[in-house]
Copies of this chain bind each other. A is one copy, B any other.
């Protein structure tokens, strides 16, 4: 049994997250009409072809007109400009949210443009795969994943609850957090790991004494896990790093410090240091599996999909 939570939802930007939201909202029956807009004509054409959104408009302003909920699903770096473009068309009482991976910078970019009487409830679903674009979405993406809502000063509690209900209805666990803490937590659980994976893959690609063919052939020894992360959308990630500078650089600083300590242990032959460190890190994996945030199947259960 489902209840329509918003009569009209506008998805601005039609990539991986927006398309997954569309299919998930339709499946759950929580949205009336869903409109959409994407800056690229090719994306709009694809969306129309595959039936992504009930109506795809050629401008963001048209798409948001009359919407009760507007979801900004564009790279963090263009959120501000987009907010400015749509502001005049926003319906009084509407809720504006976003799905950006960084929160303080996005709030600073969006909030000044929003008219009085429009509720702003920033959000961030911690979900996604290495695939991108309008055809990569699927209704199950958010199931048992966390969506963090980051209300700003003056966010209407009723608007927050309504948005929380939407995310719950499409399968997510919802958490509430303030922007600074969000940006630090994500620097640890996402931004630093992504930069590190990109770096390692870049180094391998660069190494003259080991050919690319060798790197590719022998990747199953560990490296291939990094390449999945390092295949994520370049625009999205450029904007994440530029907009969560401080926290990301802080975590990378801690990372480098620790890495140097381990390098030193290797150089000096301090096996106990290495053994103790490697034993400690096992526990975290166990916690993640117990929390239902990863599979215990060996190798992520890859054998099931890989011949």
Contact = CB atoms under 8 A, between A and B. Distances in A.
Interface in A36-91: 77
Nearest to A131: B298
Given A224-B288, A301-B304, A305-B301, A146 B199 contact: no
A144 B287 CA distance: 32
A186 B207 CA distance: 13
Interface stretch (A4-12, A27-35, A189-197): A189-197
A112 interface: no
A158 interface: no
A116 interface: no
A203 B255 contact: yes
Interface string A202-221: 11111101101011111111
Interface in A125-143: 126-131, 136, 138, 140, 143
B274 A238 contact: yes
Interface residues of A, number: 115
Interface stretch (A92-100, A103-111, A162-170, A226-234): A226-234
A98 to B, nearest CB: 16
A201 B284 contact: yes
What copy number does this chain have within its complex?
2
A182 to B, nearest CB: 9
Contacts of A101: 221
Given A184-B210, A198-B277, A231-B282, A224 B293 contact: yes
A176 interface: no
Nearest to A263: B252
Given A184-B209, A251-B203, A129 B298 contact: yes
Interface string A6-29: 000000000000000000000000
Contact of A293 (B128, B219, B242, B248): B219
Contacts of A283: 205
Contacts of A215: 185, 188-189, 284
A304 B305 contact: yes
A193 B299 CA distance: 15
Given A188-B203, A293-B217, A300-B228, A266 B284 contact: no
A154 interface: no
Contacts of A242: 266, 269, 271, 274
Contacts of A227: 281, 284-285, 288, 294
A247 to B, nearest CB: 10
Contact of A284 (B230, B251, B295): B230
Given A202-B281, A248-B266, A300-B305, 5 more contacts: A128-B221, A192-B200, A203-B254, A205-B281, A217-B291
9 tightest A-B CB contacts, nearest first: A301-B305, A190-B221, A129-B298, A234-B278, A231-B285, A300-B300, A295-B306, A230-B281, A201-B281
